[in-house]
A = this chain, B = another copy of it.
Amino acid sequence: MLDHRYRSQRAPINLSEAIIPGLCAGCGARHIGLCDALSDEDLHFLASVSRPLTVQKGQTFVVEGDAARSFFNINHGVAKLYKDMPDGRRQITGFVSAGDFVGLAADSCYAFSAEAIQEVRMCRFDRTELRNVFGRFPAIEQRLFDFASHELVVAQEQMLLLGRKTAVERLASFLDGWHHRVSHAEDSNSGRSLPMTRADLADYLGLTIETVSRALSSLRKLGIISVAADHGVSVLQSTRLAEIAQAAGSSSAKIQPMA
């Protein structure tokens, strides 16, 4: 239902549950919206239209402009989606991780490229079979619809960020969002707090790496985050971070050190 909170649907996903042997080896069906037991026939059908796929860090698995034949559901790891301009300018439009779908926002050709920033495991579906999959498993269609709706909300939020927020506000918004994302994910991430580089951050936030670095320093000097020796970022004061992200605090709050 559209009325569902997206988070509440996303939270219960547990990749270790409901693994169905033979279907996308090592990847369950629960995360694509199938929670009930499936018949042998269903399993056979699913296996015929989907394949497991693992891509290594740095590998591009979707190229903007290519014919959109596949459709992916991420099982593990993080990938970046981006668009490039002829002169090299790049905009990362999002980071996808476990449970997310990739390839929805496509015409007959992909409108974006996708590259793994960690090893990524996923299911690849044949797009020409998508209608058939929907017909057999309405739960998948519903899940996809909810995912798309949520993506639109996120995209609008990102437009506000890119169009109207300052560098520090952009960073704070991102860190706040990522913080929630990983804290909700059961598949809690490995050691490093942020899997993406400063360059990725810059391309996501519409900034340069230098400005990202400076904005991180600002937040660090305010005592809101800490930056580890390996450049990993930890949130120390999530409330103040959120206030800066939404420009919600009193105007003077922005320049108060430590408290």
- Chain A residues proximal to chain B, CB less than 8 Å: 1-6, 68, 71, 81, 83, 85-87, 89-91, 93, 104-108, 111-112, 127-128, 130-131, 141, 144-145, 148-153, 155-160, 162-165, 203, 205-206, 246-248, 251
Contact present for A5 and B162 (CB under 8 Å) = no
Residues in chain B near residue A107, CB distance under 8 A:
5-6, 149-150, 153
Q: Is the CB of A164 within 8 A of B106?
A: no
What B residues does A108 contact at CB under 8 A?
3-5
**Cα A81 to Cα B141 with chains together (Å):** 26
- 9 A-B pairs in the complex with CB atoms less than 8 angstroms apart: A2-B104, A4-B108, A6-B107, A106-B149, A107-B150, A148-B149, A152-B152, A152-B155, A164-B206
Specify which chain B residues have a CB less than 8 angstroms from the CB of A106 in the assembled complex: 2, 149, 153
Interchain residue pairs A-B with the least CB separation, the first 8: A163-B206, A105-B152, A155-B155, A162-B162, A91-B160, A93-B156, A89-B164, A148-B148
Besides the contacts A85-B247, A105-B153, A158-B159, what 17 more A-B pairs have beta carbons closer than 8 Å?
Answer: A2-B130, A5-B107, A81-B156, A85-B246, A89-B165, A104-B152, A105-B152, A105-B156, A106-B153, A107-B149, A111-B153, A111-B156, A141-B145, A155-B155, A155-B158, A162-B163, A163-B203
Kindly state the separation between the CA atoms of A152 and B112 in the bound complex, as whole angstroms.
11
**In the assembled complex, which residues on chain B have CB atoms less than 8 Å from the CB atom of A86?**
246-248
How far does the alpha carbon of A93 sit from the alpha carbon of B159 in the complex, in Å?
A: 7
